[in-house]
Each structure stands twice: as structure tokens, then as C-alpha cells.
Amino acid sequence: MAADLVLDTAIRDWVLIPLSVVMVLIGVLRYFVSKLMRSYQPPDPKIVKEGQLILRARNLRAAANFIPARSFRARRLYFSNEENGLLFVPKGQAQNAQAQMFSDPNMAMDMMKKNLSMIIPQTLTFAWVNFFFSGFVAAKIPFPLTQRFRSMLQNGIDLSTVDVSYVSSRSWYFLNLFGLRGLFSLILGEENAMDDTQRMMQMSGFGFDPSKSLGAEKDSLDIVQHDWSLPKFERRAEAVLKKLIS
């Protein structure tokens, strides 16, 4: 049976609270530093045009049932025609997002700055936590958990007899690292509260490939089944009027 521990209040005052405050301050500081290091780049007109085209195609899919079938087929042909459709991208003209990124020195430099602004503070903070706060049981989750969460919540503590709901100081660092998006959205705004999970996804994505989005939107538009909703509205209005008259 897992042993119950009584956490000292000094751990709360000198481990738990300092870790949380430092993680918040580092996240805010890293945002402003990355904002200062960011270089202004005018948007690519082609990418903006393709983004607006995707929005128009999505609006057509969303409002397909509110226009006649003939009008919908004409608009869909205008977008997805394989000869001169706006969403059709020939295979030879598809761009490689990685090649596009490495061909633009400003984009590669901004990517490197973002990676440095994320990796360096994380490395220094983890070294600080590992040196000063390693081995502490910092908190206890107020609900039971299964054994699968032990490796995630008790990193740095090699005691299988301790209940899974206890959180080590090193695990508390990782929980704050990936779970402060809600707090950053209140401090910095929703658009600026990008957590480290999304940054890692951007690091592995190497940019945006608009040709794939155009092809995916074309496939989604081709499979739309049109069902005109206006006759249903007319029958429903007629039934309501009959009830009111009778």
C-alpha cells in the first residue's frame, strides 16, 4: 500500500511557490525578448492570396445548402476544376516548405532566434531546478491516479511505495512548462500565449506548405453533397401559417 506523506510548509514556501513564480516570469521575459529579436517581414502576396482563397472555399462549403444546386455546382467547378480551377495545384508547381524556408535567409534566421529563445531559457531553468530542488516532493494532487502517471509526476524520486498523486519538484517544473498557456493568455493575450508544445511543433514542421492546404480544401469541396434548404423553410413556414390561421 502506498504511504501517505505529510508535506512540510517550508517546501511550499521555498520550493513550490518559487518554482511557479520563476516559470511565469521566465515565460513573460522570453516573450518580450523574442518580440525584440523578431524582424519584420512583409507578408508574401501569394500566401495571402492563397489563404483568402481557402477561406472563400470554406465559406462555400459552409453555405452550400443555402444556394441552388446549379449555383453551387458552378461555384465548385470554379474552385476545383482540374484545368483552371483556383484550388487545383499541378504536381510540378507544388512548393517544398523546407526548401522555401532555407532559401529565405530571413525566415531561417527568425526560426533560429525562436529556437534559441526557447532552448536557452529551458536549459538554464532546468539546470537550476535540478541543482537546487531535485528530490523534493513538492505537491499532492487532490484526486487518485493510476500507476501510469508515476513516471510523469514523480520524475527524480525512485520510491515505488509513494502514492502516485504526489508530485516531485522536477515534475512540477515540467507541468508548469507545458501547462501555463491559460495564465499567459490572461497576461499576454490569447494570440501571444503560445506554449512550448506549439513551439516544438513549429520546430518540427519547418514552415507552411500552402499547396497541401489547397489540395485538402479541394478534396473537401469535391465530396460535399448539396441539399438545398430553401424548400424545407418554405414548407415549415407554410405549416406555421396554417397553425396560426386555424
pLDDT at residue 96 in the model: 53
CA dihedral sign of residues 88, 93, 95, 100: negative
pLDDT at residue 1 in the model: 45
Tens digit of pLDDT for each residue in 114-158? Answer: 777 778 888 898 899 888 888 888 888 888 888 888 888 888 887
Q: Considering the entire predicted model, what is its pTM?
A: 0.56
pLDDT at residue 194 in the model: 52
Burial of 208 (0-12, 13-18, 19+ CB in 10 A): middle
Task: Answer whether 85's CB lies under 8 Å from 221's CB.
Answer: no
Extents of the domains making up the chain: 9-245
How wide is the angle at C-alpha 208 spanned by C-alphas 203 and 209, nearest 5°? 135
Least confident of 35-39, 64-68, 171-175: 35-39
Residue 161 pLDDT exceeds 70 = yes
Task: Answer whether 113's CB lies under 8 Å from 34's CB.
Answer: yes
- SS3 call for 134: coil
Please provide the average confidence, as pLDDT, over all residues in the chain: 79
Overall average pLDDT of the 187-211 stretch: 55
User: What residue has cell string 407554410?
Assistant: 238
Residue 44 binned pLDDT confidence (cut-offs 50, 70, 90): confident
Helix, strand, coil in percent for the chain, rounding step 5: 65, 5, 30
